[in-house]
A and B are shown apart, each in its own frame.
Chain A
Amino acid sequence: MSSANTTTSDQDALLRAGIDRSLRHPVMFFLTSGAAWLAVSIVLGILASAKVHSPEFLAGCSWLTYGRVFPAHINALIYGWGFQAAFGVLIWMMARLSRKECTAAGMILAAGHIWNLGVSLGLVGILAGFGTGMPWMEFPAFAWPVLLFSYIAILVWSFIQFRVRPAGHVYISQWYFLAAMIWFPWIYITANTLLHCLPGHPVMANGINAWFKSGVIFLFFTPVALGTAYYLAPKVTGQPVHSYSLARVGFWSLALIAPWAGMQKLLGAPIPYFLPYVGAAATVLLFVPLITAALNILRTSMSSPETLAASPSLRFMIAGITGLVVLVVAGVVLNLPGSTLPLTQFSMSGYGFEILAIYGFFSFVMFGAVYFIVPRVTRREWLSRRLMKIHFLFSVYGILTVALIALFGGLQQGIGQEDWQQPWQSAATRAYPYAVATTIAWCFILFSNIFFFLHLALMWLRLGRRSSHPTLLVAAHDHHSASPHGEEGDIDNAGPGHMPAH
């Protein structure tokens, strides 16, 4: 190794360590409080789901009625966990990709606290009976300007970093992140202004709400997760992205198709006829950009099978991308206006689809990123391989159950609903076993995420292992290894003073 190379790589290591240090607290704050909200949301989800099949469970208390617990569950999942996980991952990856230290960590932390305050007050508002009754926008009206303001205060720095970065190549992940950063406020301002401030026709208001829900999934969570996966796959395997032109096709076709999706939920409602059909067509067509991205990422990851077996980041990320494949297939199967859409429009498959998107796809990719980022920003290694495995297995089994319910339970229930010659009870009876299964699935997911939260909290306290060997999922092949976690693989976070790799 020439001395010039060593200097460059030392400078690189210094820069990376500087970036990691500058973002340690904002990133850990978002990830840890996100994980805590995830646990809260799952507890609320279990309560809500249990009430679907056992309506007398905790009945009679206004704060715990199904109609308030369920919106609290879904809003905590989206704004408490989803957005905060996205913030944590996005600010770190944007800083690393722009090669710029963060100079506004205090500001981001303050804004993060405001975000959490907004979410907490919004949830209390929903449970106390001040919800707005608009799905995914149930927080009382005071909350949205607060969330919007803190969103901008958190992410504007990543945008500035991108502007002042040393000139050079713009990586795929940066396209997705920049796009998500721009799309979300556009959708959020549109939906909230039109629904809260400029009352229009009530049915069209509902249509805009349906468009907003679809936008949050496909124009925020999806690009954030895809950008993250495009970062992790080559980084962990050490292989280049399989195809750059596929990536370009995937990105721009998502940008072209996703904004049209969403209003298929109003098929048959009195809004202009083309809107539900355009929505259904766009949701089905999303198959193209998403399968393109998924295959590209999978091909990149498969290029290194031994890393795939060992790396927790890669395993979670691959599970998330598999979730994406299931999601887009379900998107096609559930949204055909002539056959399946009337069955699934008002069945539990809608909820299953959303959970599949937020948990089965987005959250798994975020977990992968968390397992990658946290050792770097805390400069400690994960404590236990077993905790990671528990997290992975229980989450996968839980979400598989939810996905099967989405596909089969929703269709079964829909067939019952459409069978007009039978009394209505028969549709409700068909839904019953799937409701029970959902409750059980959420219990699995809760179990896995309690361990995840504890593991993460210990890492923030810097109680992780002091080692330069990452915690991998498989035991070391090397019998001379002193660490039970294996010697293979070197990490780039050992800091500027570390010994050069042998």
Chain B
Amino acid sequence: MSLRLFILGLSASFGVAWLCVVIVPYLKMRDLAPIVLDEAKDGKTGIFYPKRTGRIADGAKVYAENGCYLCHTQVVRPTYAGNDLYRPDWGGLKSDPDRGDTRRETNPYDFFGEKFAQVGVSRMGPDLSNLGRRVESIYAVGGDPAQWLFAHLYNPRAEPARYSSTCPSYRFLFETRRVKGNPSQAALPFHSPEGTELVPSSDAKALVSYLLSLKKDQPVPAVLNFSPPKNNG
């Protein structure tokens, strides 16, 4: 076999797969069409445009740089691919006070504002698709969700119930500074030397803002809604 024929064979066998699983799906996904809402089914007109607020780009960068994706996923798989949807607080809330069962699978519009979807490598820790919702409705009821997350990042094992957590401590995202005038509202309830306070750095604030934006439980248009009608009892 000549070298030319050999390279031709390699290019053909590789190129077909390359086009079919990489290039064409990439270009198609790049131009993902917005979903036009149907008045009969969705109850409103216009296009589906999920809103997301917070320092998404900054926070996603801190998330990536500190390797959160190694232990946490951000995908709630449909039931054919796993049992994620059955967990009471992963795909949404099993009994949201206002909307009932809000659990749903992840859709392609959920990663708005991010460059790289942190689907994740493994689940040493729980899925974070709805961490923002979970913190607000379960973990920090009656408190400030951002403060709860700051304290959790500073010491994931501080709460007695979480003594066995293997999440690393992100102490280096916080700084100790001298109190000038009134103490900061954002100071953490952990020990710091007399006359100083423990406050989150800019990176910690971006990360927490991003984590609180993880609320992938909005109602989706009928064409994206694969769940059977739920019994909201």
Residues of A within 8 A of B (CB): 51-53, 55-56, 59-62, 65-68, 70-71, 129-135, 162-163, 170, 175, 178-179, 182-183, 186, 190, 194-195, 199-209, 211, 219, 252, 255-256, 259-260, 262-263, 265-272, 275, 278-279, 337, 341-342, 345-348, 350-351, 417-421, 424-425, 427-429, 431-432
Contact = CB atoms under 8 A, between A and B. Distances in A.
Interface string B92-128: 0000000000000111101100111111111111100
Nearest to A135: B121
Interface in B124-171: 124-126, 156-157, 164-171
Contacts of A182: 7, 10
A260 B17 contact: yes
B67 A428 contact: no
Nearest to B28: A272
A135 B16 CA distance: 25
Contacts of B40: none
Contacts of A207: 25
Interface stretch (B47-55, B82-90, B186-194): B82-90
Contacts of B16: 259
Contacts of A52: 124, 166
B25 A204 contact: yes
B69 interface: yes
B14 A431 contact: no
Contacts of A175: 6
Interface size class of B (residues with CB under 8 A): 35 or more
Contacts of A133: 60-61, 63-65, 67, 69, 116, 118
A256 B170 contact: no
A143 to B, nearest CB: 15
Interface in B14-36: 14, 16-18, 20-23, 25-30, 32
B199 interface: no
A200 B30 contact: yes
Given A186-B14, A208-B26, A272-B25, A53 B166 contact: yes
11 contacts: A52-B124, A65-B67, A178-B6, A182-B7, A201-B26, A202-B115, A206-B118, A267-B77, A268-B84, A269-B77, A428-B164
A13 to B, nearest CB: 29
B231 interface: no
Given A350-B122, A425-B164, A429-B164, A208 B22 contact: yes
Interface residue SS majority, chain A: helix
A346 B123 contact: yes
B108 A201 contact: yes
A417 B17 contact: no
A-B complex: 4 closest residue pairs judged by Cβ atoms: A67-B67, A133-B64, A268-B77, A268-B81
A339 to B, nearest CB: 12
B13 interface: yes
Contact of A350 (B6, B26, B117, B121): B121
Contacts of B29: 200-201, 203-204, 271-272
B160 to A, nearest CB: 13
A259 B14 contact: yes
Contact of A431 (B10, B115, B124): B124
Nearest to A67: B67
A490 B131 CA distance: 67
A257 to B, nearest CB: 9
B172 A66 contact: no
